[in-house]
A and B are shown apart, each in its own frame.
Chain A
Amino acid sequence: MTMSSELPAPPPTEPAAGGPPPLLSADDVARVVDRIAHQLIERAASASPAGASDGGLADLVLVGIPTRGAPLARRLAARIEAFSGTTVDVGTVDITLYRDDLRLRGVRALEDTRLPEAGVDGRLVVLVDDVLFSGRSVRAALDALRDLGRPRAVQLAVLVDRGHRELPIRADYVGKNVPTSRTQSVKVHLAEVDGLDEVLLTEGADA
């Protein structure tokens, strides 16, 4: 992993001409990632036995849900390392093969699944995703995790929680709560995937 040294340079901040202002700008995204990184460090420290030299972070595995959860997990790990000096394990889990809506659409391409060498058994897994909506992606990720091992506990970190849950699932770390209607769509753009950082709220439901 080569993350910490190559965090994206501040991308252009002005929104696309004529479009609505973004829900989160590039600076907001950076601040939110920093805040969640701090929260993860605090929680890890409070959960670890007093005097643990790593502040409980050795126990932690950040697992991103592709597409955009994966770079988010890497960014969180880079910030945690910058703040605490401890390297944390990062992985990705593709949930496509665990989705409950495969038959509702054409066949989907798969994405990477990569777990750290040490695996997830007995560790604290924090799933990382960009948007929490129906909760179905998270359910699929929980199913995938169950096949990959037996974590001590599983938590969830998301950049945006837009509500409208269809399953009893909640996030432990939320970047921003955004009340939305079902007909709106929340688009997260990240530099690693889309060339710039921003979160947009647009009218018209999408996939």
Chain B
Amino acid sequence: MKRHLLEAADLDRADATLVLDTAGQIESALAGREVKKLPTLRGRTVVNLFYEDSTRTRISFELAAKRLSADVINFSAKGSSVSKGESLKDTALTLEAMGSDAIVIRHQASGAPHRLAQWVKGSVVNAGDGTHEHPTQALLDAYTIRQRLGRLDGVRVVLVGDVLHSRVARSNVWLLSTLGAEVTLVAPPTLLPVGVGSWPVQVSYDLDAVLSKADVVMMLRVQAERMNASFFPSAREYSRRYGLDARRMAVLPDDAIVMHPGPMNRGMEIAAEVADSARSTIVDQVGNGVSVRMAVLYLLLGGAPE
């Protein structure tokens, strides 16, 4: 493993598999236990540096660090010196001066974790930067797919929705193709990034055409906060063409699964009956997120410092 986890491309196939295997071992080590705590990172400090709102990712990282006995500091930009104008660099150096060993950062600017990694001595974990990447989400998605289907090699994954703004989509494209899955993107042309031709994916504009051959359908959130231009005519039209409802779900092969990174817009990209169906892994994904983030923190902080 490299010292930081900034993007899915930081992980080659061996590293990515190591993270997934480690997460599995940690899950089995904690299964059925009353005391869900391991002493592994005692005395280490993990800072959650969140410039953007988040529920599940921040709580998931916090829980992961606490279950490994690390000390956790939660920092959200609101109500901190950031509102007085302190720069990212100064904030990071301040935190490091207080003895942080790893910084988990979410930032609205793409590339912020990369900059941070150049300034600090400890490890940096990207918890989502702008429209760039969200590598631990991709890891937990890959873990969930492997758990449900037993493999990743050759698994056909269809990613549906706002690929343009989705860091989850970017990270999944790179990680899943590293791990041997075949990824197809389905989106309105306006919500596909310019460079998509160079990605290791197939592209389709017709959801119905690809569903019958999908092992995994991953629905992306329609990001209302980034819908600042007319990407599609109306929510109803989007939902009709790209939403996953019961009729479309019925077309899927028998053992196919439906995923969503959350938070969901029920009735928009995914119908409530689909989200609550037995095919849905949405709740599993949240639980697996803690195991996968424990694995990442262990692999970054668990050994000798370089």
* Contact B303–A97 (Cβ < 8 Å): no
Known: A94-B29, A110-B298; 16 extra A-B contacts, CB below 8 A, are: A97-B26, A102-B302, A102-B304, A103-B304, A105-B303, A106-B304, A107-B1, A107-B303, A108-B303, A111-B25, A112-B28, A113-B25, A113-B29, A119-B32, A147-B33, A149-B34
* Contact B33–A107 (Cβ < 8 Å): no
* Contact B303–A98 (Cβ < 8 Å): no
Q: Nearest chain A CB to B2's CB is how many angstroms away? A: 12
Nearest-neighbor residue (CB-CB) of B1 within chain A? A107
Q: A97 to chain B: which residues have CB within 8 Å?
A: 26, 29, 38-40, 68, 298
Nearest-neighbor residue (CB-CB) of A140 within chain B? B39
User: Is B22 part of the binding interface, using a Cβ–Cβ cutoff of 8 Å?
Assistant: yes
Q: B299 to chain A: which residues have CB within 8 Å?
A: 107
Q: What are 12 A-B contacts with C-beta separation under 8 Å?
A: A97-B38, A103-B304, A103-B305, A106-B303, A107-B303, A108-B302, A110-B21, A110-B25, A110-B29, A111-B25, A113-B28, A148-B33
User: Is B35 part of the binding interface, using a Cβ–Cβ cutoff of 8 Å?
Assistant: yes
Q: How far apart sit A67 and B26, CA to CA, in the bound complex (Å)?
A: 16
- In the A-B complex, the 3 residue pairs with the smallest Cβ-Cβ separation, listed nearest first, are A107-B303, A110-B25, A113-B29
Mask of B270-306 contacts with A, CB within 8 angstroms, 1/0: 0000000000000000000000000000110011110
User: Is A114 part of the binding interface, using a Cβ–Cβ cutoff of 8 Å?
Assistant: yes
A104 and B304 in contact (CB under 8 A), knowing A94-B29, A110-B22, A113-B29? yes
Number of B residues whose C-beta is below 8 Å from A?
23
A109 and B22 in contact (CB under 8 A), knowing A114-B28, A147-B33? yes
Q: How far apart sit A147 and B37, CA to CA, in the bound complex (Å)?
A: 8
Q: B35 to chain A: which residues have CB within 8 Å?
A: 147
- Chain B residues in the interface with A (C-beta under 8 A): 1, 18, 21-22, 25-26, 28-29, 32-35, 37-40, 68, 298-299, 302-305
Nearest-neighbor residue (CB-CB) of B39 within chain A? A98
Q: Nearest chain B CB to A146's CB is how many angstroms away? A: 8
Q: B18 to chain A: which residues have CB within 8 Å?
A: 109
Nearest-neighbor residue (CB-CB) of A100 within chain B? B39
With a 10 A CB-CB cut-off, give which of B29, B302, B305 has the most chain A CB atoms: B29
Q: A107 to chain B: which residues have CB within 8 Å?
A: 1, 298-299, 302-303
Q: How far apart sit A26 and B99, CA to CA, in the bound complex (Å)?
A: 52
Nearest-neighbor residue (CB-CB) of B26 within chain A? A110
Q: How far apart sit A102 and B1, CA to CA, in the bound complex (Å)?
A: 16
Q: How far apart sit A111 and B38, CA to CA, in the bound complex (Å)?
A: 15
- Chain A residues in the interface with B (C-beta under 8 A): 94, 97-98, 102-115, 119, 143, 147-149
* Contact A112–B25 (Cβ < 8 Å): yes
Q: How far apart sit A105 and B303, CA to CA, in the bound complex (Å)?
A: 6
Q: How far apart sit A94 and B31, CA to CA, in the bound complex (Å)?
A: 13
Q: Nearest chain A CB to B117's CB is how many angstroms away? A: 18
Q: Nearest chain A CB to B264's CB is how many angstroms away? A: 33
Q: How far apart sit A143 and B35, CA to CA, in the bound complex (Å)?
A: 12
Q: How far apart sit A4 and B33, CA to CA, in the bound complex (Å)?
A: 30
Q: A114 to chain B: which residues have CB within 8 Å?
A: 28
* Contact A105–B304 (Cβ < 8 Å): yes
Q: B28 to chain A: which residues have CB within 8 Å?
A: 112-114
Query: Which single member of B21, B29, B68, B303 contacts A103 (CB below 8 Å)?
Result: B303
Q: How far apart sit A114 and B33, CA to CA, in the bound complex (Å)?
A: 12
Q: How far apart sit A72 and B302, CA to CA, in the bound complex (Å)?
A: 28
Nearest-neighbor residue (CB-CB) of B299 within chain A? A107
Q: How far apart sit A68 and B25, CA to CA, in the bound complex (Å)?
A: 17
Q: B32 to chain A: which residues have CB within 8 Å?
A: 115, 119
Nearest-neighbor residue (CB-CB) of A121 within chain B? B34
Q: A112 to chain B: which residues have CB within 8 Å?
A: 25, 28
With a 10 A CB-CB cut-off, give which of B22, B39, B68 has the most chain A CB atoms: B39
Q: How far apart sit A113 and B35, CA to CA, in the bound complex (Å)?
A: 15
Q: A94 to chain B: which residues have CB within 8 Å?
A: 25, 29
Q: How far apart sit A147 and B274, CA to CA, in the bound complex (Å)?
A: 39
* Contact B25–A98 (Cβ < 8 Å): no
Q: A119 to chain B: which residues have CB within 8 Å?
A: 32
Q: A102 to chain B: which residues have CB within 8 Å?
A: 40, 302-304
Q: Nearest chain A CB to B207's CB is how many angstroms away? A: 40
Q: How far apart sit A148 and B34, CA to CA, in the bound complex (Å)?
A: 7
Q: How far apart sit A94 and B1, CA to CA, in the bound complex (Å)?
A: 21
Q: How far apart sit A113 and B28, CA to CA, in the bound complex (Å)?
A: 6
Nearest-neighbor residue (CB-CB) of A103 within chain B? B304
* Contact A98–B304 (Cβ < 8 Å): no
